[in-house]
Amino acid sequence: MKHCLLLLLLLSAFSGFAQTGVIKGQVKTGAGTPVEFVNLVLKGTGKGTVTSVSGDFELTGIQPGTYQLVGTGLGFRRIDKSVTLASGENVTVELTALEDSQELQTVEITGRRETTYKNDLSFIASKTATPVREVPQAISYITKEVMRDQGTFLMGDAVKNMSGVNQFTFYDDLTIRGFRMNGGSTTQLVNGLRTFSGFWKQPPVNYLERVEVIKGAASALYGNTSPGGTINRVTKKPLTTPQKSLTFSTGSFNTLRMLADFTGPMNDKETLLYRINVGYNNAQSFRNLQFDKNIIVAPSVSFLPTTKTRINFDMVYSRSNSRLDRGQSVKGNDLYSSSIKTSLNAVNDYLNEETYLITTSLNHQFTQNTSFNLAYLRTGYSEDLLEHRSSNVNGVDSAGAPIENLVARQVFVRKTKSFMDNVSLFFNHNFNTGIAEHKLVAGYDFIQSETPKGSGQQTASGYLLKAGGAAAYNAKTPEKYVFYNYTENGVTRSIPRPNISHYDLTLQNNNLEDPTKYTYNVTANAATTPVQYQLHGLYLQEQVKINRLHVLLGLRYDTYIDKKNYTKTDETNVVQHAFLPRIGAVYSVNSHINLYGTYTKGYNPQDATVQSDPLSGGPFDPIRSSLAEAGLKTEWLDSRLTANLSYYQIRQTNTLYSANAADNPNLMQQIGEEQSKGVEVDVTGNILPNWNIIATYSHNEAKITDAGTRAADQVLVNLQKPNAPKNQGSLWTKYTFTLPALRGLGLGLGGNFVTERNLSINSAQTIPGYTLLNGAVYYKIDKFQFQVNLNNLTNKTYWVGGYDYLRLFPGSPRNFMVTVSYTF
């Protein structure tokens, strides 16, 4: 009997062991990307696991029954999945991890986990972690994945993927919805904080998570901003997942590029995270004498001592050695009379720049509903410049008539430094009243920008005088000038000798020059004049959600203090105040479609240097603007794809333009009113998990509607503004093959088009529209990826922008880039 009982027990144990099963599967995002480090627990069993780098998991030894599988991961909504397991069964489940804005910090401190073209959250538009589709304003963005697939290194190549954004020149100089915005101004943001650049060079993008633009004025949150839009560069932040990558590129124009990106935890508890991006770029150009060497170091450290406190340190250091390219000059009105390679530099010109951005930020969660945010950004910039450039006019003969072959040149020698401090603090508080959900933001900004005393510039230009020195040529008194014989097409004539040798478009005289032989004047310049201004801003914002309706109300009060005649004995404060309202609403029609509308006001004080310049014709009133916008934001294909439409109208008054006065280049004219109105379409995301797309189109009518009281300015009314195309668009798509025979292979194809643009506001000169076609091939094997980018496949001759026909900015001819990357 005892033996039988023992046998039954053994058989029972064996039977129980034999009937256990397995639950396995994979966790992916809605876009189909695997999610690592998701904690999975099978409730009531004590069994659990963590997903691998490929999102896979497996739980073994499970008794038959019905269980609740629970998954949690930082920044993702809780996963709950009911699983039924029969005796001895192996069950495979597919789980989807959806990003949860409510679980994310109110400022970006830890890195973005998504690895697709689509970005779901915006911090810049509301200073809360708000889904883009719930923001009542158009937002364009480009993620690092788009920039990687297109082989992008500079900002100008990134923004061509944005609707309504167009290059104005080679520089960090754009038009957004027809309004010019450049890096020399102080309306750019890095991680939501005010900064500036040196204007001459487009910022590299290798250290950026994404580039985003709030379309229209963002004044209600950020003070004086461009009415067309505000650019925000979001730096890459540390991740809890260790990741390392090395990238090497080479290609056209003797380009050599090396990039590194390392990130991960620094301790076992994952409370100390790091990320460091390093970039080196050494490239020539299709333009004569042009080159650019860049070194970028961008470290970031995040400290998460508790679940309620996050501290972040970011730095971006950039050093650039190059020449300043002032563009192509042509003969008369013939755009094709000189090569797009034509550059007016001397061999010994140089531009050396150094920029640093240091950010420290703190986010503390007092309670589940209340948090405090404090951030400080310090920007420093220095410039050392020697350049031979156009004087913006042709050389002249003894009668003062222009000679089309000759471009008059001038020389600038400049050293300057500028600094900016931005302190931002704000509180977030969430609460409910009945069925209404509230997000309240209250904050204060302090901004100080300074060009201290110690900068300086010398300028050499004009024509040599017999009595010594140099001056602008006066055909009424030729006896005062030195003349020489100039031969053109076999005809010799006597013309005044320039202080700086003219550039002969026929001879292409890029020589080694001796700057010590020129006659210089010490000149005032916006970059070297001591300037300081301060801005104090108080703002309050309320977001209310009632069922399907989201309402946003904002108000900011700004005090702008400009120190006129800064550092001089007669230094005085010029104080301006502004109330800046914002109102918007979003209505969710269904799970796919949101309708929105918004109205905002903005302002911009006139540049302090222009205001105090006695030759500018000032003082001038501040710029005022307003935006009215409506549209829809949609999501499709299980939220993988967004398609947005917006219609807007912007009005701006008191804009300054150069009067183009030959006898006074500093003279400005203040236009009465400008208006920009148009339609924009943006499509971004994944048609399939292995098929990415980004497509844009914009129609923009940006015109002067009121030219003020001067009769001579009335011809400007209804002219399209400079470098603001009426129509532009872009398309880029990447398809990765999933067939076993083609696994690892991917193809990219796209392009962009821009229609005809005007140049100077009071000139009949235009540049033609163009359409470019680009492609790419990718092959991934194990941890290596090989990538070839082919740009301007049809070798189109085109111009990205310009001021006039002596300062044109041509685009690159056909070129290629080969990239090898290793991820480990």
pTM of the model: 0.84
pLDDT at 411 over 90: yes
Residue 8 lies in a domain: no
CA neighbor of 234 nearest in space, from 114, 324, 347, 354: 114
Distance CA 824, CA 821 (A): 10
Q: What percent of the chain has pLDDT over 90?
A: 66
Residue 246 has pLDDT above 70, yes or no: yes
| Contact of 434 with 531, CB cutoff 8 Å | no
Is the CB of residue 578 less than 8 Å from the CB of residue 119?
A: no
Q: Would you list the DSSP string of 599-611?
A: EEEEEEPPPHHHH
The least confident of 74-88, 155-169, 362-376, 769-783 is 74-88
Distance CA 189, CA 233 (A): 6
Residue 616 above 80 pLDDT?
no
d(CA 136, CA 119): 16
Averaged over 154-170, what is the pLDDT? Answer: 93
For the cut 50, the answer to whether the pLDDT of residue 16 exceeds it is: no
Q: Is 471 within a domain? A: no
Same domain? For 616 and 556 the reply is yes
| Angle, alpha carbons 794-799-801 (nearest 5°) | 150
For residue 9, pLDDT beyond 60: no
For residue 661, what is the enclosing H or E element?
Answer: none
Provide the pLDDT for residue 14. Answer: 42
pLDDT at residue 185 in the model: 63
CB-based contacts of 51: which residues, under 8 Å, 6+ apart?
A: 26, 27, 34, 35, 36, 37, 38, 40, 57
- The residue written with tokens 């503390």 in the block is 364
Q: Decide if pLDDT at 30 tops 90.
A: no
Question: Are 48 and 188 part of one and the same domain?
Answer: no
Q: From 182, 217, 233, give the residue that closes a domain.
A: 233
Q: What is the pLDDT of residue 608?
A: 62
Buried b (16+ CB within 10 A) or exposed e, 555-566: ebebebebbbeb
Residue 24 and residue 165 share a domain: no
Q: What does the pLDDT average to over 480-495?
A: 90
H or E segment to which residue 155 belongs: helix 155-158
CB 643 within 8 A of CB 634: yes
Judge contact between 562 and 605, C-beta under 8 A.
yes
Count Cβ atoms below 10 Å from residue 164 Cβ, excluding itself: 31
Do 176 and 313 share a domain, yes or no? no
Q: What are phi and psi of 500, to 5 degrees?
A: -110, 130
The pairing of strands 470-471 and 229-235 is unpaired
Assigned token pair, 64: 């038959």
| 66 and 172 inside one domain | no
**If phi over 0 gives left and psi between -120 and 50 gives alpha, with beta otherwise, what is residue 434?**
left
Residues 708 and 794 in one domain: yes
d(CA 95, CA 133): 24
The per-residue pLDDT for 662 is 65
Residue 34 maps to which CATH number? 2.60.40.1120
Residues 658 and 540 in one domain: yes
Please indicate whether residue 281 or residue 610 has the higher confidence score (pLDDT): 281
Confidence of residue 564 (pLDDT cuts 50, 70, 90): confident
At 614 the pLDDT is 65
Structure tokens at 75: 């920044």
Which pLDDT belongs to residue 767?
Answer: 96
d(Cα 604, Cα 371) in Å, to the nearest integer? Answer: 31
pLDDT tens digits along 588-611: 999 899 999 999 998 887 766 676
Q: Which amino acid is at 708?
A: G
Assigned domain for 104 exists? no
pLDDT of residue 186: 57
Are 633 and 597 within 8 A, CB to CB? no
Residue type, 803: Y
Residue 12 pLDDT exceeds 60: no
For residue 630, the tally of other CB atoms under 10 A from its CB is: 18
Percentage with pLDDT > 70 across the chain:
92
Q: Scanning the structure block, which residue is given the tokens 């229609």?
A: 755
Cα-flanking dihedrals φ and ψ of residue 113, to 5°?
Answer: -85, -25
The pair phi, psi for residue 17, each rounded to 5°, is -70, -40
The answer to whether residue 678 is domain-embedded is yes
What is the average per-residue pLDDT within 734-755? 95
Listed residues 69, 97, 125: the one ending a domain = 97
**In the listed set 178, 202, 233, which residue is the last one of a domain according to the structure?**
233
**For residues 241 and 37, what is the distance between their CA atoms, to the nearest angstrom?**
8
Shared domain check, 782 and 688: yes
Same domain, 557 and 674: yes
Specify the range with the lowest mean pLDDT, choosing from 145-149, 568-572, 687-691.
568-572
Dig out the tokens for 745 from the structure. Answer: 């292979």
Output 253-262 pairs: Cβ under 8 A, ≥24 positions apart: 253/283, 253/284, 253/285, 253/286, 253/815, 254/282, 254/283, 254/284, 255/281, 255/282, 255/283, 255/284, 255/817, 256/280, 256/281, 256/282, 256/283, 257/153, 257/281, 257/282, 257/283, 259/206, 261/206, 261/236
792: left (phi over 0), alpha (psi -120 to 50) or beta: left
Q: What's the mean per-residue pLDDT of the chain?
A: 89
Tokens in use for 713?
């300015």
In a domain, 465, yes or no: no
Mean pLDDT of 511-540: 87
Residue bearing the bigger pLDDT, 157 or 98: 157
CA distance 24 to 94: 9
CATH number at residue 174: 2.170.130.10
- Domain span including residue 163: 117-233
The count of other CB atoms within 10 Å of the CB of residue 56 is: 14
Q: Is residue 416 part of a domain?
A: yes
Question: Would you state the structure tokens that stand for residue 736, as one six-digit string?
Answer: 């990765």
| Same structural domain, 128 and 229 | yes
Residue 685 and residue 732: Cα distance in Å, rounded?
Answer: 11
Q: What is the pLDDT of residues 33-62, one digit of tens each?
A: 788 778 788 887 878 888 887 889 999 889
Please check whether residues 184 and 318 belong to one and the same domain: no
Cα separation, 274 vs 629, whole angstroms: 40
HEC string for 185-231: CCCEEECCEEECCCCCCCCECCCEEEEEEEECCCHHHHCCCCCCEEE
776 part of a folded domain: yes
Asked whether residue 482 is assigned to any structural domain, the reply reads no
Which of residues 452 and 604 earns the better pLDDT score? Answer: 452
pLDDT of 53 reads 76
Indicate the SS3 state at residue 37.
Answer: coil
Q: What is the pLDDT of residue 524?
A: 64
CATH number of the domain to which 246 belongs? 2.40.170.20
Residue 109 structure tokens = 């401190």
Q: What is the average per-residue pLDDT within 267-289?
A: 95
* φ, ψ for residue 132, nearest 5 deg: -55, -35
Q: What number is the average pLDDT over the span 350-359?
A: 97
Which residue reads 């109102």 in tokens?
Answer: 583
- State how many domains the chain has: 3
Q: How far is CA 787 from CA 118, 178, 244, 290, in A?
A: 21, 35, 18, 26
Verify that 85 and 137 share a domain, yes or no.
no
> Residue 119 and residue 711: Cα distance in Å, rounded?
50
> Which pLDDT band, with edges at 50, 70 and 90, does 370 fall under?
very high
| Measured distance CA(443)–CA(445) in Å, rounded | 7
